[in-house]
Amino acid sequence: MEDHVHTERHSNHGDLMRNFIIGFSDGLTVPFALTAGLSSLGSARLVILAGLAELFSGAISMGLGAYLAAVTDENHYKVEEARERVEVIECPLAEEDEIYEIFAAYDIPKSAVHPVVESLKNNQEMWVKVLPLQSSNIKNKAHLFT
């Protein structure tokens, strides 16, 4: 009997595609509106130069906006992770209950989750990683720009 290794291929480019689509639609709308307005002046050279200038400035603006959004997401994740580190130390029972609640949302009984909770309690680093991702419903998107 052959051993078949199943590998799943999931795309992790959703944020990149979203930024591309937003940037592309914005990048087309404004230059067309600008060139349409300037075309009434009758100078083809002015229309072309203004259109190119807007394309470049728009690209820079969208790039900076995407970068700042990514930095903000990364900072938000770090703040949530630091908060969870403190909570795991100061109120571990509440954090245990939080993990049970997370799995209860998936209809997984407490008895099945108990070994997971015990394992996480023995590995504080993993415990801290699970909590901000699930309880705050955020993702560490820092890998997109590193």
Please report the pLDDT score of residue 146 as a whole number.
37
Residue pair 69/112 in contact (Cβ under 8 Å)? The answer is no
Q: Which residues of the chain have pLDDT under 50?
A: 140-146
pLDDT for 48 equals 87
SS3 breakdown of the chain: % helix, strand, coil, rounded to 5? 80, 0, 20
Q: State the pLDDT at residue 137.
A: 53
Residue type present at position 120: L
Q: Can you say how many angstroms the Cα of residue 97 is from the centroid of all Cα atoms in its chain? A: 27
CB count in 10 Å sphere of residue 128? 22
Q: Token pair of 89, please?
A: 């130390």
Residue 145's pLDDT is 36
Residue 139: per-residue pLDDT = 53
pLDDT computed for residue 144 by the predictor = 37
The per-residue pLDDT for 120 is: 87
Whether the CB-CB separation of 144 and 16 falls below 8 Å is answered with yes
pLDDT at position 90 is 93
Q: Distance from CA of residue 113 to its chain's centroid?
A: 27
Q: Which two tokens stand for residue 93?
A: 């029972």
Residue 78: closest CA among 134, 121, 138, 127: 138
pTM above 0.85, yes or no: no
